[in-house]
Amino acid sequence: MEDSRSKHGMFGWNELLTTDPAAAKEFYTQLFGWTTQVFPMGAHDYTIVKVGEVDIGGIMSIPEMSKGMPPSWGAYVTVDDVDATAAKAEKLGGKIIVAPTDIPTVGRFTVIQDPQGAVISAITYVNK
């Protein structure tokens, strides 16, 4: 990511976890004029969402570890150091929902729940 979204503290990615990625792609491409590009990821595909040539987000099936959750959009904030951000979130009273985890060729992310219960993800990109 080589734009302003790669700066610490910027919202940089949005991701839909859903029970029906095909139906979601159909809905959102018609609603917003987005285009998509599918990447096979083993048992499940990951769909990149684009506005023109700019990647803005993704759509994927709800992962096995999250089965039972309702379909929802999640936001990612770019950070300089995911591990330090996760530790700071806990120190501030937050809860780590997904421990810092590598995404090959993309970066490292974590999912944080704030003290009021809202959830957000943080990510450090490998090419940052």
Contact (Cβ atoms closer than 8 angstroms) between residue 13 and residue 39: no
Contact (Cβ atoms closer than 8 angstroms) between residue 51 and residue 96: no
Q: What local confidence, expressed as pLDDT, does residue 2 receive?
A: 55
**Whole-number mean pLDDT of the chain?**
93
Q: What local confidence, expressed as pLDDT, does residue 44 receive?
A: 84
- The per-residue b/e assignment along 87-110, b for 16 or more CB within 10 angstroms, e otherwise, is eebeeeebeeeeebeeeeeebbbb
Q: Given pLDDT bands bounded at 50, 70 and 90, which one contains residue 3? A: confident
pTM comes to 0.84
Determine the 3-state secondary structure of 90 from DSSP.
Answer: helix
87: domain CATH number is: 3.10.180.10
Average pLDDT of the residues in 28-37: 96
User: 62-73, pLDDT tens digit by residue?
Assistant: 988 888 989 999
Q: Given pLDDT bands bounded at 50, 70 and 90, which one contains residue 9? A: very high
Give the domain extent around 119: 4-125
User: 43-62, pLDDT tens digit by residue?
Assistant: 889 999 999 999 999 999 99
Spatial separation of the C-alpha atoms in residues 34 and 49, rounded to whole Å: 6
Average pLDDT of the residues in 105-111: 94
In this model, does residue 32 exceed pLDDT 70? yes
Torsional sign, CA 15, 61, 93, 91: negative
Ordered strands of the 119-125 beta sheet: 35-41, 44-51, 54-61, 11-18, 72-78, 119-125, 107-113, 95-103
Domain count, the chain: 1
In this model, does residue 128 exceed pLDDT 60? no
